[in-house]
Amino acid sequence: MLTSISKKVTMSEKLRPIRSFVRREGRMTPRQQRALDEFWQQYGIEYSAAPLDLSEVFSRQAKTFVEIGFGMGKSLITLAKEHPEHNYIGIEVHRPGVGAILSDINELQMTNLKIISHDAVEVFKHMFVDETLAGVLIFFPDPWPKKRHHKRRLIQIDFVRLLVQKVQIGGYIHLATDWENYAEHMLYVVERVPGLKNPAGKGDYTPRPESRPLTKFEQRGKKLGHGVWDIMVIKDQ
């Protein structure tokens, strides 16, 4: 159940421009750098403030799902492998992660997965046409645990409204976090955005769907007794 949460989604915070990331580059491995150099042109999509034609990007018409902040890309690779009938786009600015997933895509010769390396807020504002996406996935975003940093969290009312614009009727937004306070904040936000329905019931979390791959990070956390909270809401109008 949703526990009591400080209702501090204030107007000033709501209108504050947010970014979907903080640059923490890390060290590139030779494999990752080679993938960036050799495979970006084939599997990457350059940012442009112009709408994407998804049927042209994938040379077919199919349901398209977008994951924001895929990290090293293991979950996204798993989803795309298990569902070749669907198209997937991953958004990530962490260059080692982009290099890692490009290498995996090339090794598996996948045709249903493309990558955008740019701020997700700008990508959703300018590149996705309204009501064209089947779902948006945001797994374990930066929780910004310190109270003074909560305004930097990606999941805010304005951003979720933007996501809703891009999702088709019947499509969904799937969030997951291992920080309980962020889970409470996420649930508070999505239940205050018009057009979304929580099938689990108002104030309730979604039991972990089998469709979400279990990461090594999550498995390790579970062994240590850490909780994970899933929220899946459906666009119903």
**Phi-psi category of 230—alpha, beta or left, where left has phi over 0 and alpha has psi -120 to 50?**
beta
Report d(CA 218, CA 237) in Å as an integer.
33
Catalytic residue chosen out of the listed positions 37, 119, 142, 158: 142
Please, are residues 87 and 58 in contact by the beta-carbon 8 Å criterion? yes
Structure tokens at 69: 């902040």
Q: Does 178 qualify as catalytic in the annotation?
A: no
Instruction: Please name the amino acid found at residue 29.
Output: T
**Phi-psi category of 116—alpha, beta or left, where left has phi over 0 and alpha has psi -120 to 50?**
beta
Report d(CA 90, CA 73) in Å as an integer.
8
Q: Which residues are designated catalytic?
A: 142
